[in-house]
Amino acid sequence: MDSNVESPEQVAYRRMEETTRRLMEEFKLQDETSKSRGYESGGLKVALQSPHELPANNPSMIYTSQPRGSPYPVECLLRGAAAKRELIEYPDFPQEIYRASDLEERAYSIVDIPGKGLGMVAAQDLEPGELITSERPLLLAPHAISSPASLEFNDDATEEQQQAAKYFEADRMLKIAYERMHRDDQAAYMKLHNAHLHDGSGPLLGVMRTNSYGLFDMQGDTYVGVFNDLSRVNHSCCPNTDRAFDRAALSMQLYAVRNIKKGEEITTSYCNHLAPHAARQRALTPYGILCECPACVEHVESDKNRSRISHVRNSVPAIVKWAANPMLPDDLLLAPSLKMLELLELEGLEATPQYLQVLYHLMLICSALGTSSVNPGCGFYMEKWARLKRWDVKVNPAERGIQDLEKIRIASLVRRRVLMGKEQEEAAAVFGASNPEAE
């Protein structure tokens, strides 16, 4: 066998390097003409070496496909050698995942949604906490890429010229990443919607600004990703899913937060969906979206509800105090918590920390009251809460280090006046010997 024959991987790597060098040469020529566009570019600093050969403080932009050697890699544009090290040294990285297209059965399909272009619909009934898909981005880059810091503008450069130059430079940086992507991924990227055709964003930056999700923070940058199927999920201020980025697998998980019927559209939020209607509309402008979800249509009433919901706070200390005081009525905290839960579900805000918090409060309150005909019991809320936390519901949450339940157990013994021997001592340790019930 001829030892000079390159392996397919070596060929791909050599081509990638050649492409990068060719683009760098092109860019050098463009740099010389940038003066006529009103600014001087510091030039792109691109490193082709392994990050281990670069000093940790090297600030060059790094182009890398990760996980290395994976059949399903992500094209990453990272700022500095330290960022690349942090990415690949993340605990349990890299965990392999499947491409949705390789799976025999998918929980969703991508279809035309009247008035919205393409969107995602459920291909089966989905339950709260159920994983819909886990997908790697086509391209991952720092959010701040659209305003490169190294440009020096002539004194007479207008604001418009400056913005155009920044977009132009950002698109050049993305071009290298794009050229390194697999041909199928390039095609998928260019098929995505671009809401920035007329503001000077180049085609690559335009697609990124229209379709990217924030993923995680690293080395002072927020990193964003553009996805194939996930970028098709339309926005709603009452989304029926939430997203979580799994850094070990370098993939975004999309999971249901309430029951979704087969055929129903799957939605996610592109903005802070607890914010008032006007603020949401402003935040959605860059995506070219005029939202017509129930909360936007009935926005006067919905704004009032969302403002109340945004004031939900951690009430665990108050619940412990109530549980330990038999003079306070049973439904003192139960009734308002049930009302708040109803309001959250009415507003379609199951994908908020407030919803999880109210479920958690109800779990504690019901554990103090015990199951009765008026409440479905601690276990009911515990299971709902654990599912949305994406924990295995068979695992007793108390084993997961929830000491609050233990506190409530002891406090509610005081409430029900059934203290005996060892329990009296436990209660005394938690609430102090001055508590009359613990004497």
Q: How far is the CB of 234 from Zn ion (least distance, A)?
A: 11
Residue closer to Zn ion, measured from CB, 108 or 287: 287
Q: Which two tokens stand for residue 364?
A: 């504690």
Residue 219: name the closest of 372, 59, 9 by CA: 59
Q: How far is the CB of 296 from Zn ion (least distance, A)?
A: 3
Is-contact 141 77, C-beta < 8 A? yes
Residue 299: name the closest of 279, 276, 283 by CA: 276
Is-contact 235 251, C-beta < 8 A? no
Q: How far is the CB of 129 from Zn ion (least distance, A)?
A: 24
Phi, psi for 171 (deg, rounded to 5): -65, -35
Residue closer to Zn ion, measured from CB, 303 or 383: 303
Cβ within 8 Å of residue 241, ≥6 positions away: 132, 233, 254, 255, 256, 257, 260, 266, 267, 268, 351
Q: How far is the CB of 437 from Zn ion (least distance, A)?
A: 50
Residue closer to Zn ion, measured from CB, 123 or 296: 296
For helices 403-415 and 316-324, the axis angle rounded to 10 degrees is 30
For 393, counting Cβ atoms within 10 Å of its Cβ (0-12 exposed, 13-18 middle, 19+ buried), the class is middle
Residue closer to Zn ion, measured from CB, 236 or 375: 236
What 3-state DSSP class applies to 347? coil
In angstroms, the CA 437 to CA 435 distance is 5
Is-contact 243 252, C-beta < 8 A? yes
Q: How far is the CB of 281 from Zn ion (least distance, A)?
A: 8
Give the total residue count for the chain: 439
Q: Which spans in 156-298 are helix H?
A: 159-180, 183-191, 203-211, 277-284, 294-297
Residue closer to Zn ion, measured from CB, 284 or 386: 284
Q: Which two tokens stand for residue 102?
A: 């390789």
Q: How far is the CB of 115 from Zn ion (least distance, A)?
A: 14
Query: How close are the terminal C-alpha atoms of the chain, in Å?
Result: 88
Q: How far is the CB of 289 from Zn ion (least distance, A)?
A: 9
Q: How far is the CB of 271 from Zn ion (least distance, A)?
A: 9
Q: Which residue has the tokens 């430079």?
A: 169
Residue closer to Zn ion, measured from CB, 110 or 296: 296
In angstroms, the CA 41 to CA 55 distance is 24
Residue closer to Zn ion, measured from CB, 226 or 291: 291
The bridge status of strand 241-246 relative to strand 251-256 is: antiparallel
Return the bridge partners of 135, or none.
Answer: 252
Q: How far is the CB of 295 from Zn ion (least distance, A)?
A: 5
Residue closer to Zn ion, measured from CB, 65 or 269: 269
**What kind and span of H or E run contains 63?**
strand 61-66
Residue closer to Zn ion, measured from CB, 188 or 275: 275
What residues make contact with Zn ion under the rule CB under 5 A?
A: 237, 291, 293, 296
Q: How far is the CB of 208 from Zn ion (least distance, A)?
A: 23
Residue closer to Zn ion, measured from CB, 237 or 349: 237
